[in-house]
């Protein structure tokens, strides 16, 4: 392709003045190459010339110049100096170091490309989580105030991740005090390669010590990879990962990779596959510790999407919904792409930005400066702002404005892998930790093959309000969708439906299979085929659905002939006349210049050739919520097809899959359930008494639990209780499905997906309903859809289906009618008695029963048996129908002394414990049952006092409604006061005449006392409602500080933040569950 018409530039290309023999070597010193090039670009402009003994090289950053060199028809990759050094020391080149014309590069690229598609990414997620959890665990176990080396730990993380995902090998870096030898060898090789690329060959030969180290490091890397290969071959199972594909795969010509090339590829992936991602995560953290408003916004998204239970692992769908987290990573890559340059060369004499360039000239694209162009990014282009990648701004970017992973067919093959790993890890970190800039870090760049921040350390504080579950199960491996079971007695109208796919990586083919299964459910005679099979042979009966991807703007291998036919100017007008079609495209917006190129071509050309578009083209972005986008597109697909084919009375209105569970019933009697889902232990209730008076408007119970031998607790721990659903609730389910209470069921999972229900043995139905599933959670959309699917056509079915859509109106209806009133699936079933939903499907869509956590209200120094203080939830149901009973509080209220409950002890996620030094005072702030942990704190201090240990007097700021009715543990509070362990400062919200209604009012009124204790290095503890009490307490304390310091609001916030950072302000707070949209 010829260069675009553009006036030639006759002026000289600017640049620094070269020196004899060494050219511009001093202008671009080793170790600061990229930063020096950025400085020179700011001085000389968007193109500059550098002179060296090996020849001139241009450095460009202007958008028009980047557009030129990213044209694969005119320019190709030029392997850089450091890469050439690496390549020269191996018998075969890897993907990163090979020339584009190398036949082995093409073979390896074809063989490995499917390993980086959307289908493969889902398969890697469990292994990614495995390694990410090791980082989380290491950071969770750091001592308060202990710095962590961010770059070192992210290097361990990313090396272990690519090794496990790609090669099934564990470096176990987090179990080592020092780097794995491979890492040290790799760093040495990279540094030496860069050095050798900058000095004359004669000088290289004189550096004998460096040569010995270089050879030794290369041998260690090669030996490590060789051991991995030997281990895989000896296992007899090649595997289905990167290594397995290299061992068994063939390219399009049937050629396999030789062993020496496999070794080079493995080293390439181990190096490039972790260096760039660790740099990205490290740079991201360096920006986050300086931008608390970005952190707050990201944490809100993480909590909303992933939840606050860090033991529930993220799914691929959830990662796709972390859009702001992705914006943060993209913004980091904009400012500091860890691979900060790529080099291209013209295939023939050409021009770049109008400047003549000779064939083979090296042209360096300096991406950090491309990414700082004010005309693209705005006047704040030098500033960190994730909103540079807000959806509307990203969509408006010029195609080549953002190039963090290179360009064209030589762009980083693993970019989707890197981004999935980065989103996962950053999301998990934000879910768990506050990262604190303890040293006032100033960004410094370390340059080698990639860029990384130098000397970055942070301290960590666990986030409050985390709600861990009872166990941390291994992340579920996403199973293939079970085969669709045809509707019994449905109308099989048999209309042909041809689903064509263009797919190299399998994603489009997978979607085609899903469409065929759904179509078969609706009575179509559906089948799949590759696009090329329909070249000049599109059917005019029935309909055609096309699912295709693009690869750098070119069609998939099995769609090339079809697309060539569409493009052919000789294809006659009307070649697609009579064809009813729709198109869905699979793509990734990282390839902005070619995003959806092939699906758009197919859609446009079929319409131009006379075809009838029956449903709008859909787009799935692998960097976003791909599943949600596909679901939104299919939401109207079947209605549009039915209308176009005049099948409104014949095609099924909804795809019906068969139940995933098969139940065999036995009418036997039993009473005891088996707890199998959680690592809980049976404990004995030793006491259960009421704490409030008969005139109080609520019940609060005090329970003492005897733990089994070997299970202990500490002051401030939480007790998780695995509840049982109330018997009255279980009876309602039995009545709705006509089941005898004595019935046993045998649950068998008919698909590959795991289930939380007990399988493979006969189980009492009472035990399943009481102890395995949540019966009072708001009905999910899937549950509503299941109920609707078993209703006859009519207004009731329409009303339920109107709640399950993804549009704004459906979401609003769901929120108002289901989520806010908390209508359960059982409530819905009772409201729609005509639904014939099978019991198996009812169980299948219910979430598993989860434990509830209570602050332990005792201290082991005072009692070996932990106690809990439980507010019994009994209130009018939000739906207006009857009374809502809390699942766990009702279970505990009804537990008799001597009875068994299943429990687990969990340490708090933050150091919510009394100070080890008893001379250090505490300020404990709580309301109602929020005083529970403070009873334990005071018991611990009281035990020390009774042993003669001097203890500081603490403050207990405690709120209740009326001291005559619901001041909990009133007698014990008087004893703590009399002993000087804690001074009570009460707030009574419903006591006429009392001056302080809430705890924040007490803090204001007793400001002198509170401030005096704060000046004694007191630790502040807050336990209560996250939405009401906690922010009021924070505001009261900030006001107290401002009044005494005459400071500003910002200074007050900074003071409180400093208390947090020092571990002197701790919150154990809770709020209502988020209402799903």
One domain for residues 543 and 445: no
Q: Is 670 helix (H, G, I), strand (E, B) or coil?
A: coil
Q: What does the buried/exposed string (b/e) look like for 852-878 if buried means 16 or more CB atoms within 10 Å of the residue's CB? A: bbbbbbbbbbbeebbbbbbbbeeeebe
Q: Is 515 helix (H, G, I), strand (E, B) or coil?
A: helix
Task: Note whether residue 754 is domain-resident.
Answer: no
Task: Note whether residue 60 is domain-resident.
Answer: no
* Res 94: pLDDT: 79
Candidate list 214, 384, 405, 626, residue with the active-site label: 405
Q: How many angstroms separate the CA atoms of 160 and 137, rounded?
A: 15
Domain count, the chain: 3
Burial of 490 (0-12, 13-18, 19+ CB in 10 A): middle
116 among known catalytic residues: no
Q: Is 912 helix (H, G, I), strand (E, B) or coil?
A: coil
Q: Is 1028 helix (H, G, I), strand (E, B) or coil?
A: coil
Using alpha carbons, select from 969, 967, 957, 947 the residue that is nearest to residue 921. Answer: 957
pTM confidence score? 0.56
Candidate list 412, 772, 888, 960, residue with the active-site label: 412
Task: Note whether residue 415 is domain-resident.
Answer: yes
Task: Note whether residue 1075 is domain-resident.
Answer: no
| Tokens found for residue 517 | 């299964």
Task: Quote the distance between the C-alpha of residue 1050 and its chain's center.
Answer: 32
Task: Note whether residue 390 is domain-resident.
Answer: yes
Candidate list 195, 222, 276, 343, residue with the active-site label: 276
Query: What is the DSSP annotation of 645-664?
Result: TT-TTTS-SS--PPPSEEEE
One domain for residues 508 and 448: no
Task: Note whether residue 53 is domain-resident.
Answer: no
Task: Note whether residue 94 is domain-resident.
Answer: no
One domain for residues 505 and 457: no
One domain for residues 438 and 554: no
- Residue count (the chain): 1077
- How many other C-beta atoms lie within 10 A of the C-beta of residue 335? 20
* Res 2: pLDDT: 46
Domain boundary among 404, 438, 462: 462
Task: Note whether residue 668 is domain-resident.
Answer: no
Q: What is the CA radius of gyration of the chain?
A: 33
One domain for residues 452 and 560: no
501 among known catalytic residues: no
Q: How many angstroms separate the CA atoms of 51 and 842, rounded?
A: 73
Q: How many angstroms separate the CA atoms of 167 and 241, rounded?
A: 6
Q: How many angstroms separate the CA atoms of 252 and 608, rounded?
A: 33
* Res 1046: pLDDT: 87
Residue 225 structural domain: 103-462
* Res 521: pLDDT: 82
Task: Give me the phi and psi of 415, to 5 degrees please.
Answer: -65, -35
Element (H, E) at 1061: helix 1049-1061
Q: How many angstroms separate the CA atoms of 628 and 615, rounded?
A: 17
Q: How many angstroms separate the CA atoms of 249 and 538, rounded?
A: 33
One domain for residues 584 and 638: yes
To the nearest 5 percent, what fractions of the chain are helix, strand and coil? Answer: 40, 15, 40
Using alpha carbons, select from 153, 142, 431, 448 the residue that is nearest to residue 281. Answer: 153
* Res 1077: pLDDT: 31
* Res 10: pLDDT: 56
Domain boundary among 644, 670, 688: 644
| Tokens found for residue 323 | 């859009």
Q: How many angstroms separate the CA atoms of 797 and 804, rounded?
A: 11
Q: How many angstroms separate the CA atoms of 418 and 424, rounded?
A: 10
Residues of the chain predicted below pLDDT 70:
1-10, 467-491, 648-679, 751-755, 879-880, 1071-1077
Element (H, E) at 852: strand 852-855
Domain boundary among 644, 679, 706: 644
* Res 9: pLDDT: 61
| Tokens found for residue 114 | 């499917």
* Res 5: pLDDT: 47
* Res 675: pLDDT: 52
One domain for residues 453 and 587: no
Strand-pair partners of 357: 350
* Res 667: pLDDT: 30
412 among known catalytic residues: yes
Q: How many angstroms separate the CA atoms of 613 and 502, rounded?
A: 19
Query: What is the DSSP annotation of 34-52?
Result: HHHHHHHHHHH-SEEEE--
Using alpha carbons, select from 186, 162, 155 the residue that is nearest to residue 112. Answer: 162
* Res 484: pLDDT: 34
């Amino acid at each position: 392709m010829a260069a675009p018409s553009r006036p030639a530039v006759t002026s000289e290309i600017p640049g620094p003045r070269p020196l004899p023999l060494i050219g511009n070597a001093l202008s671009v010193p080793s170790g600061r190459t990229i930063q020096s090039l950025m400085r020179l670009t700011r001085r000389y402009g968007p193109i500059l010339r550098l002179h060296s003994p090996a020849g001139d090289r241009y450095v460009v950053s202007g958008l028009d110049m980047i557009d030129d060199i990213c044209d694969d028809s005119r320019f190709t990759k030029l392997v850089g100096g450091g890469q050439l050094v690496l390549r020269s020391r191996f018998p075969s080149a890897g993907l990163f170091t090979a020339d584009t014309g190398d036949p082995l590069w093409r073979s390896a690229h074809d063989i490995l490309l499917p390993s980086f598609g959307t289908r493969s990414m889902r398969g890697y997620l469990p292994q990614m989580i495995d390694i990410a959890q090791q980082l989380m665990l290491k950071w969770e176990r750091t001592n308060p105030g202990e710095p962590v080396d961010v770059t070192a730990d992210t290097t361990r993380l990313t090396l272990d991740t690519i090794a496990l995902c790609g090669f099934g090998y564990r470096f176990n870096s987090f179990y080592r005090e020092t780097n794995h030898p491979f890492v040290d060898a790799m760093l040495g090789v990279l540094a030496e390669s860069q050095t050798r690329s900058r000095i004359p060959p004669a000088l290289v030969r004189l550096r004998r010590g460096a040569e010995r180290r270089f050879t030794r490091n290369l041998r260690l890397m090669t030996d490590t990879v060789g051991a991995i290969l030997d281990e895989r071959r000896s296992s007899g199972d090649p595997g289905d990962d990167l290594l397995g594909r290299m061992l068994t795969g063939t390219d399009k010509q049937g050629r396999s990779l030789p062993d020496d090339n496999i070794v080079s590829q493995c080293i390439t992936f181990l190096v490039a596959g972790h260096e760039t991602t660790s740099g990205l995560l490290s740079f991201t953290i360096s920006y986050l510790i300086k931008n608390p408003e970005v952190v707050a916004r990201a944490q809100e998204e993480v909590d909303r999407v992933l939840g606050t239970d860090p033991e529930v692992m993220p799914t691929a769908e959830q990662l796709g919904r972390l859009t702001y987290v992705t914006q943060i990573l993209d913004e980091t890559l904009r400012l500091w792409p860890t691979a900060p340059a790529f080099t291209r060369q013209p295939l023939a004499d050409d021009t770049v930005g109008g400047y003549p360039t000779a064939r083979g000239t090296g042209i360096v694209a300096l991406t950090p400066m491309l990414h700082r162009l004010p005309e693209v990014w705005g006047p704040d282009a030098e500033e960190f702002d994730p909103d540079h990648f807000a959806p509307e701004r990203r969509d408006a970017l010029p195609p080549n404005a953002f190039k963090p992973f290179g360009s064209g067919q030589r762009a980083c093959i693993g970019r989707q892998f890197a981004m999935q790993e980065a989103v996962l890890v950053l999301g998990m970190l934000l879910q768990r930790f506050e990262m604190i800039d303890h040293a006032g870090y100033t960004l410094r760049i370390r340059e080698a093959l990639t860029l990384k921040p130098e000397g970055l350390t942070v301290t960590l504080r666990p986030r409050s309000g985390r709600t861990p579950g009872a166990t941390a199960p291994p992340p579920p491996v996403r199973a293939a969708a079970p085969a669709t079971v045809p509707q019994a007695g449905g109308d099989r109208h048999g209309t042909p439906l041809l689903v064509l796919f263009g797919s190299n990586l399998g994603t489009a083919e997978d979607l085609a299979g899903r469409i065929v299964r759904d179509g078969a459910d609706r009575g179509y005679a559906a089948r799949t085929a590759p696009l090329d099979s329909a070249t000049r042979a599109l059917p005019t009966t029935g309909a055609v659905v096309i699912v295709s991807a693009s690869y750098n703007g070119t069609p998939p291998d099995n769609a090339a002939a079809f697309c060539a036919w569409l493009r052919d100017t000789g294809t006659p007008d009307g070649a697609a006349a009579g064809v009813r079609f729709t198109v869905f495209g699979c793509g990734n917006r990282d390839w902005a210049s070619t995003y959806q190129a092939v699906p758009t071509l197919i859609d446009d050309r079929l319409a131009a050739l006379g075809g009838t578009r029956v449903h709008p083209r859909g787009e799935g972005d692998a960097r976003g919520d791909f599943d949600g986008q596909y679901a939104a597109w299919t939401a109207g697909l079947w209605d549009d097809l039915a209308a176009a084919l005049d099948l409104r009375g014949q095609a099924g209105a909804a795809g019906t899959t068969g139940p995933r569970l098969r139940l065999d019933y036995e009418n036997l009697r039993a009473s005891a359930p088996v707890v199998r889902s959680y690592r809980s232990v049976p404990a004995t209730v030793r006491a259960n008494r009421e704490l409030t008076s008969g005139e109080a408007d609520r019940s609060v119970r005090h329970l003492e639990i005897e733990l089994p031998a070997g299970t202990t607790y500490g002051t401030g721990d939480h007790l998780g209780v695995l509840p049982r659903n109330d018997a009255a609730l279980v009876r309602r389910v039995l009545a709705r499905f006509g089941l005898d209470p004595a019935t046993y069921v045998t649950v068998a999972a008919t698909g590959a997906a795991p289930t939380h229900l007990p399988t493979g043995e006969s189980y009492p139905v009472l035990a399943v309903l009481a102890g395995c599933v949540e019966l009072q959670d708001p009905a999910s959309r899937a549950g509503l859809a299941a109920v609707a699917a078993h209703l006859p056509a009519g207004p009731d079915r329409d009303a339920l289906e109107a709640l399950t859509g993804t549009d704004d109106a459906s979401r609003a209806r769901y929120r108002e009618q289901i989520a806010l009133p908390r209508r359960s699936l059982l409530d819905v079933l009772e409201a729609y008695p005509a639904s014939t939903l099978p019991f198996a499907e009812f169980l299948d869509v219910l979430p598993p029963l989860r434990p509830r956590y209570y602050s332990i209200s005792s201290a082991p120094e005072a009692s070996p048996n932990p106690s809990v203080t439980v507010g019994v939830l009994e209130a009018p149901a939000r739906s207006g129908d009857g009374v809502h009973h809390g699942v766990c509080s009702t279970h505990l209220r009804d537990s008799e002394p001597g009875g068994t409950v299943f429990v687990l002890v969990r340490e708090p996620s933050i150091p919510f414990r009394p100070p080890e030094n008893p001379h250090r005072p505490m300020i404990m702030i709580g309301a109602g049952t929020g005083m529970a942990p403070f009873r334990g704190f005071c018991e611990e201090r009281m035990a020390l006092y009774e042993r003669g240990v001097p203890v500081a007097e603490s403050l207990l700021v405690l709120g209740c409604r009326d001291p005559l009715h619901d001041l909990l543990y009133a007698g014990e509070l008087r004893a703590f006061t009399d002993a000087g362990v804690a001074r009570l400062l009460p707030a009574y919200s419903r006591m006429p005449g009392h001056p302080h209604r809430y705890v924040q009012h007490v803090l204001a009124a007793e400001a002198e006392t509170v401030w005096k204790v704060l000046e004694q290095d007191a630790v502040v503890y807050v336990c209560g409602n996250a939405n009401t009490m906690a922010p009021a307490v924070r505001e009261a304390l900030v006001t107290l500080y401002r009044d005494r310091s005459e400071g500003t609001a910002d200074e007050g916030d900074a003071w409180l933040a400093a208390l947090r950072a020092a571990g002197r302000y701790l919150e154990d707070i809770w709020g209502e569950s988020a209402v799903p949209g």
